[in-house]
Amino acid sequence: GESVGLHLPTLSVQEGDNSIINCAYSNSASDYFIWYKQESGKGPQFIIDIRSNMDKRQGQRVTVLLNKTVKHLSLQIAATQPGDSAVYFCADKAGSNYKLTFGKGTLLTVNP
């Protein structure tokens, strides 16, 4: 993920809509990417991951898209539910480096 900033981007959607959360990363050597969900008072929870040899991966109601050309990652959530309200972080890792670099996070609010 990029160096974190002072403000948390926010996304507000209606229940049932699809959500798209975006993330830019800066390390061209990054080869593994993860999306995490963090609810208030809890630690981050793994959602889905993707390796650099793929450009799309689907899970249950979630899809991650990777564009290595522009170093961009997105998380699509289908039929967003109130329980999806949380902060979403992307993270990346390069090679044998065991360190995850996190993006700044996006606050998703789902309105019933």
Q: Give residues in contact with other proteins (CB under 8 A).
A: 1, 4, 6, 8, 32, 34, 36, 41-46, 49, 51, 89, 91, 93, 96-105
Least distance (Å) between residue 15 CB and other proteins: 27
Is 37:44 a contact under the CB 8 Å cutoff?
yes
Least distance (Å) between residue 25 CB and other proteins: 13
Would strands 45-51 and 30-38 be described as parallel, antiparallel, or unpaired?
antiparallel
3-state secondary structure 49-64: EEECCCCEEECCCEEE
**5: exposed, middle or buried (Cβ count in 10 Å: 0-12, 13-18, 19+):** exposed
Question: Measured from the CB atom, is 41 or 83 closer to other proteins?
Answer: 41
Least distance (Å) between residue 42 CB and other proteins: 6
Question: Measured from the CB atom, is 12 or 97 closer to other proteins?
Answer: 97
Tokens coding 53: 């040899």
Alpha-carbon gap, residue 56 to 73, rounded angstroms? 10
Question: Measured from the CB atom, is 28 or 40 closer to other proteins?
Answer: 40
Least distance (Å) between residue 32 CB and other proteins: 6
